[in-house]
Amino acid sequence: MQDNKPLGITFVSENFSNSIDSFWIIIRPEILINPFDFISVENVQNTKTIGIVKELKRIYIDSETFSKNPYPSQMNLIMNTEEKMGDGLTVAKVEVIANLQFDRTQEIPSNASSLNKIPVKSKNWSINMPVQEGKPVTFATVEEVISSLGIPEMEHPIPAGVISMTNNAQIPIDLDVTYIFGPDTTHVNATGISGNMKTGYLLFLLQVLHQKLSEEGISIILFNTKEKDILYIDKERDEDYASEDKHILDILGLNLNPFNNVKYFLPRGKDGKPNSAHVPNKNYFTYSFELSDVYDRLELLFSSETTLDPQHNISSILNYIYEFWPNLSQGGTGKGIPNKITTWTDLINFNEYPEEIVTHKTTLLKFQGMIQKYRKPSTLFVDKKVTSRYLGKEIKKMKKNEVFVIDIAMLPTLDEQALVVGDVMKTINEMYSLGHVSIPDEGYGGGDAEIDDEKVGAKKPKYIVIFIDEINRFLPRGESGGSDVGISKSNRSAVAEELLKTLITGKSRHCILFSAQQFKSQIEPSINENTGLHVITKLGLSELSSNSYSMVDDTTKSVISKLHKGEFILVHPAFRHPIKIAIPKPAFKRP
């Protein structure tokens, strides 16, 4: 059973006043308490106020102040005369989370995990009365924490982690599926210095989603950006779960296994072999690009600086190729039959553009040189695929509950990595616009007339998640205008535009982005503006001082700078205050 002995009392003084948003408590000298602990105190009309500890400090209050306090008997319950006349007291500022009224006739179970299986009899009251002074304060019970966070009202809860309090209480935390996929909020972003498991948290949440939403249908696309980081997600971990990890899983009511239905797509290398840091034993395919695959999206291969360069109008050449495909041709044979442009080699040699398209010879030379730059050393751009596949076709055939891992880690240039990401994102956006993916409450409206809604709906996913680590590579913050000014629309790359389409339309589509990076200050502000769930691991105070972390108060920032590996701060509009949680180690093998 959880110990509910008083840990302190509420108080007020000239310098420490209580409000409807926060109040102060004096802590018993022998009690250990930390920021993010939940506490409970009785309030008016048989209610309880549940709060979260925000800051701790030592203060000195002279004996005259104590002699005038109206609650000497309560004070004596927590400290003796010698202690209260000592050098100082430990006090805590507590932020109000909720005011609750519980059904006292209900038996409160001692087992935290059983709370997921019974209705919680409590009511979250809209009482805005400050907590009175002299009230005994206890650590909040499991039921009180869960009720104050609104978890019992969630229709489709998704386990998201465990709150561990200083008194050893552990509370399972859920997120409603609408908190992740909309319409309430959408998208998830994780940030923190390297080695603090931010990617691990996103993969944990993806595992839970894959398990919990399998009946409705969820498909996941993961980009592997760091060597062989996520190329083992269908393999059992090498060692058994530690007892603490098993305990967390029990509290959350989870039995996690490695991802299933996984297909690995590895970039084509020399002689058609995979260009990858690790080649799985099975279920892997190589991918490459013929010109016919991407003729209509060649802008994805070029940076915005290249396509917008006024001296070399590269964009006019790209538009011309798109407009005249597949009838683009050059010269002719001895019989006067023109040669159609169908391959990368043909495109490099093609020079019969109209004068209004190529006004300067240097423009054509630059375009041909850039295509040659990618074509010559790369094995990704082929004139004819033999064993490799085109990712766009594979994405369109994706079935519910499948997991695609697309490896881009070993691609030699950022431009090639960006092409792969942009091509996949553009394919997904086109699938929604053409009605090839189910749109909530609208079926396949506006789609192809030949599609059988009932048959397709049985195979297509209701939810799609795209995971991109190091997203700052593809949606970086602008270089001009100061550290907190984003890229203007006119300067964004074509890849960035495709990512932003998903960010903006995710709520209505159930197609969301899981992204991660070390620092929010390095990414396009639109990511933060459109993200519902922020996951933060350890960061330095200099990084936290940027405007990118305006959703976090200064006291929480101080705690973030002191986090240990495996501790996470969740920031979500559904919770009045950021909460600190932990998760078990991955259920699959990590390199």
* Sequence-separated (6 or more) residues with CB below 8 Å from residue 542: none
Residue 575: what pLDDT? 87
pLDDT score at 480: 37
pLDDT digits (tens, 9 = 90+) for 232-289: 999 998 888 888 999 999 999 999 999 999 999 999 998 899 999 999 999 999 999 9
CA distances from 257 to 210, 278, 517 (A): 11, 21, 26
Burial 444-479 (b: 16+ CB within 10 A, else e): beebeeeeeeeebbeebbbbbbbbbbbbbbbbbbbe
The confidence score (pLDDT) of residue 191 equals 97
Listed as ranges, residues in the chain with pLDDT below 50 are: 1, 67, 81, 83-85, 104-120, 333-334, 441-454, 456, 479-487
pLDDT, one tens digit per residue, over 26-42 is: 998 889 999 999 999 99
What is residue 441's predicted lDDT score, i.e. its pLDDT?
44
| One-character DSSP codes across 281-347 | SSSEEEE-B-HHHHGGGGGGGS-HHHHT-SSS-HHHHHHHHHHHTT--EES--TTSPPEE--SHHHH
- Can you give the pLDDT at residue 1? 45
Contacts with 369 (C-beta within 8 Å, 6 or more apart), sequence order = none
pTM of the prediction?
A: 0.87
pLDDT of residue 493: 87
Whether 537 contacts 197, CB under 8 Å: yes
The token duo for 20 is 């409807």
The predicted pLDDT at position 2 comes to: 55
Closest CA to 246 of 255, 259, 238: 255
Domains of the chain by start residue, with CATH: 8-153 (no CATH), 188-239+257-288+385-535 (3.40.50), 292-375 (no CATH)
pLDDT of residue 184: 83
Q: What is the pLDDT of residue 336?
A: 57
pLDDT for the residue 289: 96
pLDDT at 125: 61
Closest CA to 97 of 128, 142, 52: 52
